[in-house]
């Protein structure tokens, strides 16, 4: 049992698995912080205390001691697996905390759970802040990107603490008050949706290059390393080169060839798409990335389908260098679409839930620490600084020009993939979205006609106001329009 601690800690962490321990160590390493730690089973606390005496942690074996070890107003960050465990810890903390104290949930919670929890905890006078934290284990330890929601008032206490542990990009800490209640977890969810799209696009680029040019994973690692010096510079491109270069110690083969080709998912990508469906926002690139993981993880269906016929013509790439450059440009254009769709969802979510989300600030705090950190996020901040009411990121001058420069390559790559029978769902859906967005006229007019035909769902006309229903018949001369106004 830990000794009954005096109130010496200015911040506490509950949940000492890898993310929680690393975040606690990060907090302890910043000047002025004394960190209280608590875990359901005391063994984990003991291990952390003995492995990191330099951190000066204040360990407690009960939640009451933990609360007593914190200076008031108490601030505690919960780092447990999102779900029922989070509710259990909140119940424990609200029982021993007092009005004015702050409970932060740093897990990957579903934002609607955060809205519910914030409302319930607020009734006790305690503040509840859902904070998205990105950057994996390494980010938690050395500086993550942090997306806190909750009240403005709680951010006054929390802001300086979070700023002290966040990643720093171009001199600025990667943290901002995103908006009230669930706004932080909502934005973290979109971050993850974009992360899924970015990863899938990179995987498609690798697959096309490998199958088209016959280059080895190590050679493709060099291609990615080279791309990482230009407009695609990002953490995900950087680690892709490292993953492709890795050799399996047991077999001597490229590790990527030894790994089972079934991608897992913990659900945040699916949430992004489910939420987008509810909001009516087409995040098709993100959706295809989620579905590509689902398809990969259907071994029985895939095994049954291996003899379905593919293209009859063999595929060869005449000029590998040109093809690789085409793929690079297609990747850049598709990535712009993924961000454009993700920001559309942020705008729609902000409107639906009444959050004042500063889009440019979100792009800024994603420049460092998080999984999607990338050079080009500065361009997004600039685009919203120029025009905060931008209706689609891809229409901003910088991105319009970037896509204009890439689109011939993009079309060639998508056509080549279709011709060669290579799945490129994220590349192709992004291009279709782009073409849909820029179309003068869409066949949606025909869909409206069909809906009115079988269900009298009505339609609008291009030449006059009002809502119309046609008395459909086989003889066109008998069709008459009825203004249902
Ligand atoms: C991050 C990551 C992280 C997340 C996984 C997504 O920002 O640090 O988004 O929070 O848990 O990367 O996991 P899956 O791929 O397993 O869904």
Do 428 and 298 lie in one domain? The reply is yes
Average pLDDT over residues 279-296: 98
With respect to residue 485, please indicate whether it lies within any of the assigned structural domains. no
Tell whether 344 and 247 lie within a shared domain: yes
Model confidence at 481, pLDDT cuts 50, 70, 90, reads low
Determine contact, residues 393/399, Cβ cutoff 8 Å. Answer: yes
Look up the domain containing 449 and give its range. 443-480
Nearest to 285 by CA among 207, 374, 206, 193: 193
CA dist., res. 429 & res. 425, Å (int): 6
Does any domain span residue 410? Answer: yes
Determine contact, residues 152/158, Cβ cutoff 8 Å.
no
* Percent with pLDDT over 90 in the chain: 94
Is 161 in the same domain as 20? yes
Let me know: does 133 contact 106? Beta carbons within 8 Å.
yes
Residue 485 pLDDT > 50: no
- What does each C-alpha distance from 194 to 168, 359, 426 come to in angstroms? 21, 15, 12
Residue 155 lies in a domain: yes
Q: In sequence order, what DSSP letters do the residues of 231-259 get, joined into one string?
A: TT-BHHHHHHHHHHH-B-TTT-SBHHHHS
Asked if residue 4 has pLDDT above 50, the reply is no
Residues 375 and 434 in one domain: yes
Distance in angstroms (rounded) separating the CA atoms of residues 235 and 227:
12
Same-domain status, 112 and 71: yes
Phi, psi of 59 (to 5 degrees): -95, 145
- What's residue 416's pLDDT? 97
- Is the confidence at residue 209, as pLDDT, over 80? yes
Domain-embedded: residue 269: yes
DSSP 9: B
Q: Are residues 222 and 91 in the same domain?
A: no
CATH number of the domain where residue 463 is located = 1.20.5.320
Neighbours of 109 (CB within 10 A): 26
Which residue reads 């899938």 in tokens? 200
Q: Whose CA is nearest to atom 7 of ligand 1?
A: 134
Residue 475 in this model has a pLDDT that exceeds 60: no
Instruction: Find out whether the peptide bond into 67 is cis, omega within 30 degrees of 0.
Output: no
In-domain check, residue 136: yes
Q: For residue 474, name the pLDDT band (cuts at 50, 70, 90).
A: low
Q: Is 188 annotated as catalytic? A: yes
- Ligand 1 centroid to Cα of residue 269, in Å, is 9
Does residue 478 have a pLDDT over 70? no
CB 38 within 8 A of CB 5: no
Q: Is residue 2 part of a domain?
A: no
**How far, in Å, is the centroid of ligand 1 from the Cα of 135?**
8
Q: Which letter does DSSP use for residue 71 in this model?
A: P
Among the three residues 123, 154, 177, which one is the final residue of a domain in this structure? 177
Please check whether residues 153 and 197 belong to one and the same domain: no
Bond preceding residue 203 cis, omega within 30 of 0: no
Select from 177, 210, 232 the last residue of a domain: 177
Q: Which of 192, 198, 236, 367 to mutate to test the pocket of ligand 1 (most atoms within 8 A of CB)?
A: 192
Q: Is there a binding annotation on residue 136?
A: yes
For residue 466, give every residue at least 6 positions away whose Cβ sits within 8 Å of its Cβ, in sequence order, or none. Answer: 460, 483, 484, 485
CATH of the domain at 81: 3.40.50.720
- Within this chain, do residues 448 and 372 fall inside the same structural domain, yes or no? no
Measure the N-to-C terminal CA separation of the chain; round to a whole number of Å.
75
What residues contact residue 226 under an 8 Å CB cut-off, 6+ apart? Answer: none
Catalytic, out of 65, 195, 204, 288: 195
User: Are 429 and 469 contained in the same domain?
Assistant: no
Tokens linked to 22: 């690393």
| Cα 132 from Cα 13, distance rounded (Å) | 15
Q: Is 215 a catalytic residue?
A: no
C-alpha–C-alpha distance, residues 218 and 256, integer Å: 10
Check residue 2 and give its pLDDT. 43
Here the tokens at position 420 are: 């060669």
Cβ partners under 8 Å of residue 138, min gap 6: 22
Q: Is residue 419 over pLDDT 90?
A: yes
In 214-353, which ranges are continuous DSSP H helix?
217-227, 235-245, 255-258, 268-279, 284-296, 299-304, 320-353
Q: How many CA atoms lie within 13 A of 183 on its CB side?
A: 24
Does the Cβ of 192 fall within 6 Å of ligand 1?
Answer: yes
- Supply the CATH number for residue 429's domain: 1.10.1040.10
Residue 26 is labelled as binding a ligand: no
Query: Is 451 annotated for ligand binding?
Result: yes
Is residue 1 assigned to a domain?
Answer: no
The arithmetic mean of pLDDT across residues 254-276, rounded, is: 98
Q: Is the pLDDT of residue 148 over 90?
A: yes
Residue 116 and residue 161 share a domain: yes
Instruction: Read off φ and ψ for residue 170, nearest 5 degrees.
Output: 45, 45
**How do residues 122-132 score in pLDDT, each as one tens digit?**
999 999 999 99
Please, what is the angle between helix 183-213 and helix 268-279, to 10°?
Answer: 110
The structural domain count of the chain equals 3
**What is the pTM assigned to this prediction?**
0.95
Catalytic residue chosen out of the listed positions 44, 188, 335, 359: 188
41 is an annotated ligand-binding site residue: yes
Of the three residues 147, 177, 207, the one that is the final residue of a domain is 177
Above 60 in pLDDT, residue 484? Answer: no
With a cut of 70, say whether residue 430 has pLDDT above it: yes
Res 313: pLDDT: 83
Bridge pairing between strands 58-60 and 35-38: parallel
- At 339-363, the pLDDT tens digits run 999 999 999 999 999 999 999 999 9
Are the CB atoms for 144 and 166 separated by under 8 Å? yes
In the beta sheet, which residues pair with residue 481?
470
- Tell me the backbone φ, ψ of residue 370, rounded to 5 degrees: -90, 170
Q: How far is the CA of 200 from the centre of ligand 1 (A)?
A: 14
Q: Are residues 270 and 373 in the same domain?
A: yes
- The DSSP element (H or E) to which 25 belongs, if any, is helix 18-29
Residue 438 CA to residue 47 CA, distance in Å, equals 58
Q: State whether 199 and 256 are in the same domain.
A: yes
Beta-carbon contacts of residue 81 (< 8 Å; ≥ 6 apart):
17, 107
pLDDT over threshold 90, residue 314: no
What pLDDT is recorded for position 22? 98
Torsion angles phi and psi, residue 123, rounded to 5:
-60, -20
Residue 6 lies in a domain: no
- Ligand 1 geometric centre to CA of 192 (Å): 6
């Amino acid at each position: 049992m830990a000794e009954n601690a005096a109130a010496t800690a200015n911040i506490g962490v509950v949940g000492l698995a890898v993310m929680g321990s690393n975040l606690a160590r990060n907090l302890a390493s910043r000047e002025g912080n004394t960190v209280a730690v608590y875990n359901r089973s005391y063994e984990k606390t003991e291990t952390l205390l003995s492995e990191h005496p330099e951190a000066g942690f204040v360990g407690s074996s009960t939640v009451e001691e933990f609360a007593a070890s914190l200076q008031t107003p108490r601030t505690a960050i919960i780092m447990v697996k999102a779900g029922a465990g989070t509710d259990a810890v909140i119940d424990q903390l609200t029982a021993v905390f007092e009005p004015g104290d702050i409970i932060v949930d740093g897990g990957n919670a579903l934002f609607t759970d955060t809205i519910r929890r914030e409302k319930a905890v607020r009734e006790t006078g305690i503040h509840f802040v859902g904070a998205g934290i990105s950057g994996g284990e390494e980010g938690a330890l050395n500086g993550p990107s942090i997306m806190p929601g909750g009240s403005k008032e709680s951010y006054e206490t929390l802001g300086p603490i979070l700023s002290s542990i966040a990643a720093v990009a171009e001199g600025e800490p990667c943290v901002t008050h995103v908006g009230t209640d669930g706004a932080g977890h909502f934005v973290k969810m979109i971050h993850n949706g974009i992360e899924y799209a970015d990863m899938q696009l990179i995987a498609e680029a690798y697959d096309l290059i490998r199958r088209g040019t016959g280059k080895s994973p190590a050679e493709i690692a060099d291609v990615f390393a080279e791309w990482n010096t230009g407009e695609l510079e990002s953490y995900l491109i950087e680690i892709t080169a490292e993953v492709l270069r890795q050799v399996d110690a047991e077999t001597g083969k490229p590790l990527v060839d030894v790994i089972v080709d079934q991608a897992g998912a913990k659900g945040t990508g699916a949430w992004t798409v489910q939420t987008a469906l509810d909001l009516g926002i087409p995040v098709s690139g993100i959706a295809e990335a989620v579905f590509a993981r689902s398809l990969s993880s259907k071994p029985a269906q895939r095994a049954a389908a291996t003899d379905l016929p593919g293209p009859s013509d063999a595929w060869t790439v005449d000029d590998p260098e040109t093809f690789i450059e085409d793929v690079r440009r297609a990747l850049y254009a598709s990535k712009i679409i993924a961000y454009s769709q993700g920001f559309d969802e942020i705008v729609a979510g902000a409107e639906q839930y009444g959050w004042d989300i500063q889009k440019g600030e979100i792009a800024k705090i994603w420049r460092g620490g998080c999984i999607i950190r990338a050079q080009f996020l500065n361009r997004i901040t600039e685009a919203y600084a120029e025009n905060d009411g931008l209706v689609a990121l891809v229409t901003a001058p910088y991105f319009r020009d970037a896509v204009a420069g890439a689109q011939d390559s993009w079309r060639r790559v998508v056509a080549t993939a279709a011709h060669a029978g290579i799945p490129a769902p994220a590349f192709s859906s992004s291009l279709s979205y782009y073409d849909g967005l820029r179309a003068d006229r869409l066949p949606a007019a025909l869909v409206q006609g069909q809906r009115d035909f079988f269900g009298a769902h009505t339609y609008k006309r291009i030449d006059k106001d009002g809502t119309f229903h046609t008395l459909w018949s086989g003889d066109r001369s008998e069709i008459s329009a009825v203004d249902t106004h």
